[in-house]
């Protein structure tokens, strides 16, 4: 019983933090009215030509995010790199090409999901995002999530997983498990850029993606399509995703 109460308090706390991130500081009192959900266009307008943090000085283009506005699956990465900064679109460089293959390995096209990042502007020399940059940008990502209302989020890499789950735990510990995020499932996995440097880890990402695919089949009724067996074919001494290369 004590455990259950603690669990409810922890859930409530994380929901209140989520609301705080959305800029809601008082508890909404329901008067039978529908909750106002912002549209993605409204969120984008609010972000505007953002100059709220220092990254605006060095970025070329703000990368808001793109994809299906009603996506069931949302992909959240770290932040734009060189190519994303040039094109103004998320995951269009080498890591992005791998992400497309990873999605295809569970028979999803990029256009079916929504892709965004923890921060919307490229840090100089692709350095890690700094805490003040994440803190400034994160509320807008929360608003995007609120607008899209995905049922499941795949967090790519350390920064996405740690920020969304409010933890310092390592991605090696976090990956491959489901977490609750105010009623939305989150499953963290390795970042595709990390996979480019460590291809022997592709097998784990493949296992994680299969879990997402199964969850979508079981909970959302997405028709079961066999995951692409070629994607984890054994290559040389370690398993490398055939279609994820």
Residues that bind ligand URA (CB under 6 A): 77-81, 84, 90-91, 93, 95-96, 117, 193
User: How far apart (Å, rounded) are the C-alpha atoms in residues 105 and 4?
Assistant: 38
Q: Which is nearer to ligand URA, 202 or 232 (CB)?
A: 202
Cα dist from 231 to 107, 113, 124, 223, whole Å: 11, 20, 34, 19
Considering the complex, state which of residue 6 and residue 172 has its C-beta at the smaller distance from ligand URA: 172
Q: How far is the CB of 39 from ligand URA (least distance, A)?
A: 22
Q: Least Å distance between CB 245 and ligand URA?
A: 18
Q: Provide the greatest CA pair distance for the chain.
A: 63
Report the chain's terminal Cα–Cα distance, integer Å: 49
Give the angle 49-97-77 at the CA atoms, nearest 5°.
50
- CA–CA separation, 167 and 242 (whole Å): 33
Q: How far is the CB of 63 from ligand URA (least distance, A)?
A: 6
Residues 27, 189: Cα–Cα separation, whole Å: 33
Asked if residue 76 lies in contact with residue 113, where contact means CB atoms within 8 angstroms, the answer is: no
By C-beta, is 118 or 222 nearer to ligand URA?
118
Q: Quick one: 93 or 239, whose CB is closer to ligand URA?
A: 93
CB of 159 to ligand URA, least distance (A): 8
Q: How far is the CB of 84 from ligand URA (least distance, A)?
A: 4
Please, which residue, 14 or 100, has the CB nearer to ligand URA?
A: 100
Closest residue to ligand URA, judged by C-beta, is 77
């Amino acid at each position: 019983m004590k455990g259950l109460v603690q669990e409810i308090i922890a859930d409530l706390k994380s929901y209140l933090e989520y609301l705080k991130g959305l800029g809601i500081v008082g508890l909404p009192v329901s008067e039978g009215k529908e909750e106002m959900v912002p549209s993605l266009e409204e969120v984008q307008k609010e972000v505007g030509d953002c100059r709220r943090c220092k990254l605006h000085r060095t970025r070329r283009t703000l990368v808001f995010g793109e994809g299906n506005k009603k996506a069931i699956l949302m992909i959240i990465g770290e932040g734009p790199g060189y190519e994303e900064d040039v094109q103004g679109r998320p995951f269009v460089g080498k890591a992005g090409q791998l992400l497309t293959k990873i999605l295809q390995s569970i028979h999803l096209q990029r256009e079916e999901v929504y892709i965004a990042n923890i921060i919307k502007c490229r840090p100089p020399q692709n350095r890690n995002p700094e805490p003040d940059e994440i803190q400034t940008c994160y509320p807008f990502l929360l608003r995007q999530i609120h607008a899209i209302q995905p049922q499941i989020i795949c967090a790519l890499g350390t920064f996405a997983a740690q920020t969304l789950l409010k933890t310092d735990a390592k991605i090696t510990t976090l990956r491959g498990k489901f977490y609750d995020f105010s009623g939305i499932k989150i499953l963290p996995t390795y970042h595709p850029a990390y996979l480019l440097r460590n291809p022997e880890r592709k097998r784990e990402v493949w296992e994680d993606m299969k879990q997402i695919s199964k969850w979508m089949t079981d909970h959302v009724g997405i028709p079961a399509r066999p995951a692409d067996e070629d994607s984890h074919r054994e290559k040389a001494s370690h398993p490398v995703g055939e279609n994820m290369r």
